[in-house]
Structures are given as C-alpha cells and as structure tokens.
Structure 1
C-alpha cells in the first residue's frame, strides 16, 4: 500500500499585492542564449569494462581510423580485435553566451556501445560541433564517474548509479566564438520567461518611468522592445541598471496540480470554489462463510448433512458533508478537507468532481 502525502502550497502576501522581482529573473535578452555542442570520440584506459567489439564494430573502426592518423596500419589478417579497455562515447556540452576562444566549459561523456563502466577512463581529443557543422570546442581529459559496477565469479553483480556516463569539469576548450547580435541595432528585445500581459505592462511602465516615455514598448505578452545605446560598453552599463529593476510580476493562472503517482497535490493561491456541497465516504461490505454440520441420532437411518451459512454485513463510513461558500479561498479549502479527515486520494476525487460540476475556478492539471 502506498502512502500518500498532501502538500498544499499557499503563497503568502500582503493583501493582493504581488511581490516585486528583479527584471533579470523575469526576462532574458533575445539572442543571448546557450548553444548545444555534440561530438563522438573514444575513452581509453578502462579496466576491462570497455565495449565488446564483436557487438560494436564501430568501436574497432574508430580505433583503426585513429591509428591510421598516426601512420599505424592494423594487419588485415589480424582477425577480430578485442578492445576491452576502449569504449565509443558521445560527448555533449552547452556553450554559454559570449564564450571566447581559450575559455573552458564542462562536458558530459556517455557510452553509446555496451561498455559496462567508464570509471578510470580518459577521453581522447574530440571535436565538438554545433548544429551548423562547425567545430566550436575541443574536448579531452580524465572522466569523473559517480557510479560503479562490480560482479562476482558466480555471475552476481551490483550497480550503483550510472557507471556508463561521466563528466569532465572544464574538459573542453572553446575554439570558436558564436556570433552575437547583442551590440547591433538600436533596440534590444526582452523575452519574458512566463508570458503575461500584466507583467509586460508593468515592465514597460517601470522602464518608461525611469528612462523616459517611449523608451520601452510591449510587443505582446512575451516580448518588450527597449531602446539601447549603440556603443557596446554603454550598452553593458545600460543593461546592468535595468536588469536589477524590481518589477511586480502578474499573478499566474489559478491551477491545481495533481500527481496521481505520488499523491502530491499543489493548490495555487488564487484557486476559488463556487457554492457547492460535498460529501465523501466509503462503503465496506464484508461476506463470511460458516459451515454447519448436522449429524443423525446413533443407530438411526439419517445421514450427516453439511449446511453452508453465509453472513453479509455492510458498514458505511460516517463523514459529515461540508459546504463551500462563494469565493472560498485555498486556506478554507484545506481547512474543510482536513476537518473531515480526507486523504490525498480522497481530495483528488473531490477536486475532480468539483471541476466537473463547474464549481472549481482553476485549471486542473494531472501529471
């Protein structure tokens, strides 16, 4: 039997006043973004936990290609090469904005063959390419693997975490910078992390009050165009000022989130319930079978008779009905449900029924 836990999250505030947040936490600058890089390489130096090359021929092919780069040719008649200490891997990383050649970034290395573990291995020089096919970084270094794998002679094995993947902190050196439009044009565009018309209006009003009328203009619920200096150094100083402005964000849409797998229920602050009466209980039916044996008198002509006797009982759990008044708030909902002793699973059924009845003024989302 699973144990359910109810988490009701209530955002606290003074009246209906939203809490002010920094502009940098509400929006990002259009064009200032990370870029994904990916590469293919070899990890060597493993302790017999590499690819089984009979099942991963691309590992042998890659290894032979690498040897050919150094002028070493493997004899054609050497048969199947077993490279137990080598594994073919994929390497991926995120290239942060404004990264310049010579800077380093973290990389993640994952086995793409059947290697059991990458612990103790070293990644050989691997070019990392972007979506355009250009090489933006070169990766190489010793892996840090958090998991491990161990086995016994009888076939027993234990695995902790994931030994077939690891990371190399500062394992790649940037070789090419990604072009940025940050210092081009007369305007910058702020993209809201959560599009909202109220938030866009508040940001626009805040910028215009500080910098002058017409400096900022909301394009839609998720974008705001802001006039910016042409000189790059002045533009940096300009953004350092406006990104620390505190703006009141608009309230999110009222939502109730239900995780049916864990029994977690999150109710937003602005959830309201229209007038409704709710009762929720359970009916328990118990059926028991007894056997009655009837024996005849001694020396009589009667026969022993076995008679089944069934006993059926029903018990209805007594729970009071509770009523929601118009505009009932989150605090009142939680208090009412706790008074009748409803479990999270019961609350899920109640909330779904209220939504179907049109009494729940919120989006009901089941994940």
Structure 2
C-alpha cells in the first residue's frame, strides 16, 4: 500500500515560525523499483551537491539491499550455494538484525526467506492465472522458508551463513525503509534539520515544512483506484509506513488471494484487515512492522502492538457493512503519537 503522495498532503497547523523565507529543495526520481520524493529545507542549500549526495546514498543502498540487482550483496548471497559463514557489510548486518528482531517478536510472521512462497503463489515469475498451489507444493515451499532456522547472523563477527544452499533473502519489506533512513542521514550530515523523505509511499519526517508548520501525512482509504484520505497524521522525527492488500491480489474461482502471505501457514492472509500503518523510531522498523502487522491482522496485531508499545493503525473490512465499509482500530501508542484523547 502507498501513502498518499506526501508532497500533496502537507497541511498547515500553525503560523510561520521562520524569520525569513527558507530555501526549499525538492528532489525526485526512481530507486528500488519505485519512486522517491525528498523535501529539504534550510539556508544556503546547494541543490546540485545535495542531489549528488542523495543519488550516491541510494546507489550504495541498492548495491547492498536490492533484489532487483543481480550483483547486489543480498543477491550474491542468495545465489551462492555455500553454507559457510561469509563476511557481510555493516549495513547488511544491521538490516538482518532488525529483521530477526521482528521475526522473533511475530513468531515468524515476518520472514525475509519468504521468496519460495511468493513465487509459488504467483507474485513472482509465475502468473496469477496459474493454478492455485496444492497442499504438497505449499509444504515443499515452506521447507525453504524460516529465517531463524535457515540463517545465522553473527553481528559481532560480521558474518552470515545459511544452512541450506538454496536459501535466498528478500529484503523488499524492510530495505526500502532502511534506504529512507540512509537518505535522512545524508541530509542531517549536510546540516539539514527540516526534511521529508519518501520512497514508495513510506517515509520519515523531521522538523517542519517550509511554512514552519508540522509535517502532515495522509493515510489512504483502502479503495483501489482512489486517493481519498482516511486520516491525517502529524509526523516529526519518526518513520511511517503502510501496507495494504487491496491493490496487489488475484482472484480465481471466486476466491480472492492477497499478495500478503503468512510464512507460518504458507498461504495468503484471509482475515479482513486490509490496511495497516505503523509509526516507529525510523522508517526501517516502520516498514518491517507494517508488513508484519498486515500479515497478523487486527486481532493478533493489536495485541502484539500493545505488548511492545507499537504505534499501529488498522483498517479492516466491516463484515456487516459490505465491501466498501470499514472499521478502524489503533493501538494506545498510536493514539499517544497523534496527541488525541
């Protein structure tokens, strides 16, 4: 799921707080199989130098985390058939450690070795119109899924090993968030304290916009083809990510199959939660938790959010109200983040 375009959703809350009109640099482009939009605000900004620094940062992230690049660090590891520990970059180890944390807390619902199931269910090289997988095919695919069982990360030694030569890693549910944080770090190194960084709908914001107001980000109502705002969220020094099941799915024989697959069952989710938004200390964790919470669904996800004090907002289909009726539920930490009663 994408948040509504961030640059179109900046809503004023207070009067201008700047003594003089700040400089605003807006950068956009393509990365990680999607698009990025950056707004940086400050004094004496060098747009060309800033653009070059951002492009270099994104290039470095892709060189390590991109599953689209066959020569990236993650692709090279996945293609290798060695089960010996191999040296990995500090950045790759950081992302894997975060993935392990979410994997453990969700009982395996978040999993970076999900690739065999993604391909089996037609969201990889297979076509959605291909036959629905059999129980036997699902069991076979599940044997190659389970990062706690199949991957061994030694952060102290900076090594990663796999127990099965065929195991691959897919970082699509966490690397985008890491890339956002990396770009934000580049902006801070340039002395910029007011910025908004968005990649593929996930984002991180800090400080204020060019009018001196709080950044305001819209959560999209879960309707395919619509860009209606469900809720406006104030964002400062936090990451924000949403995940939804209403744009990427296929139907066969009257059954709807979501692209969100539960690594525990090996099957697409069947609960009625259709959208989840997470606020976190950075975009990487928001990215991972949004995927995990959508896979868990509102009931299990909300209990876990309360246990770990996670700021999560759920939108679910109302079973009594038809296809276009929704109910919303949020965790205590999400309410606190909004500053509402």
**Which of the five TM-score ranges fits, normalised by the shorter chain?**
under 0.3
**Larger helix share, 1 or 2:** 2
**Larger strand share, 1 or 2:** 1
Q: TM-score, normalized by length of structure 2?
A: 0.18
- Larger-Rg structure: 1
Q: TM-score, normalized by length of structure 1?
A: 0.17
